[in-house]
C-alpha cells in the first residue's frame, strides 16, 4: 500500500488538517502520516474547523519528522516552503509535492477573524488533498500504470 507523509513546521494545523482529509477521503488508497520540523500542540481551532466538516482530528498528535528517519514514502506533501529545506536526507520519496499554504495559527485578529482564517485555510487544504487523491491515488491512474 502506498505511503504518504504530509509535512509542515509545527504539525499543529495545516498538516494535521491535510492528514484528516486524506484519511477520510483516501481511506483504503494509502497510509497517511503527518509530522513537523518543529512540532507544537495540535491547535484547538484546527480541531474545531475540521469538526465543522465532520472530520475528527481531536485525537491526532503533533509528531517530529525525525521519527520517520530512514523511511521511504511514495509521496511527501510539503504544506509550507520552510519545511521543504528541513527534511532529513534519510527520509526519501518517489515524489515530493510542494505547497505554500499560510499558517492560520500565525494570523492576528479578532477571534471571529481568526476562525474565518482557519476556515479559509481549511478549504484550501481540502481542495488540494481532494485533487491529490483524484490525480495520484485514483484507481484510473493505477490501471494506467500497470
Which whole number is the average pLDDT over 111-133? Answer: 98
Q: In the structure grid, which three cell numbers stand for residue 97, read together? A: 509535492
Burial 78-92 (b: 16+ CB within 10 A, else e): bbbeebbeebeeebe
Which whole number is the average pLDDT over 45-50? Answer: 98
| Beta strands per DSSP E along 1-146 | 2-8, 30-36, 72-78, 92-98
Residue range 73-90, pLDDT digits in tens: 999 999 999 998 889 999
Which whole number is the average pLDDT over 58-62? Answer: 96
**Structural domains of the chain sorted by starting position, each given as residue range(s) with its CATH number in brackets:** 2-145 (3.40.50.2300)
Q: Degrees (nearest 5) of the Cα angle 58, 60, 65?
A: 155
Beta-carbon contacts of 76 under 8 Å, excluding residues fewer than 6 positions away, are 4, 5, 6, 7, 87, 91, 93, 95, 96, 97
Q: What is the per-residue pLDDT for 18?
A: 98
pLDDT band at 91 (very low <50, low <70, confident <90, very high): very high
Say if residue 48 is exposed, middle or buried (CB neighbours under 10 Å; 0-12, 13-18, 19+): middle
Residue range 21-38, pLDDT digits in tens: 999 999 999 999 999 999
Amino acid at each position: 500500500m502506498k505511503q504518504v507523509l504530509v509535512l509542515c513546521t509545527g504539525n499543529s494545523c495545516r498538516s494535521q488538517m491535510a492528514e484528516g482529509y486524506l484519511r477520510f477521503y483516501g481511506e483504503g488508497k494509502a497510509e497517511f502520516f503527518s509530522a513537523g520540523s518543529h512540532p507544537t500542540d495540535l491547535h484547538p481551532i484546527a480541531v474545531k474547523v475540521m469538526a465543522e466538516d465532520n472530520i475528527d482530528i481531536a485525537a491526532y498528535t503533533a509528531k517530529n519528522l525525525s521519527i520517520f528517519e530512514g523511511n521511504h514514502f511514495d509521496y511527501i506533501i510539503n504544506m509550507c516552503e520552510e519545511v521543504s529545506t528541513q527534511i532529513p536526507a534519510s527520509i526519501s520519496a518517489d515524489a515530493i509535492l510542494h505547497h505554500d499554504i499560510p499558517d492560520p495559527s500565525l494570523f492576528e485578529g479578532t477571534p471571529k477573524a481568526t476562525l474565518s482564517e482557519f476556515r479559509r485555510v481549511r478549504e484550501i487544504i481540502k481542495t488540494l488533498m481532494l485533487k491529490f487523491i483524484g490525480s495520484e491515488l485514483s484507481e484510473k491512474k493505477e490501471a494506467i500504470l500497470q
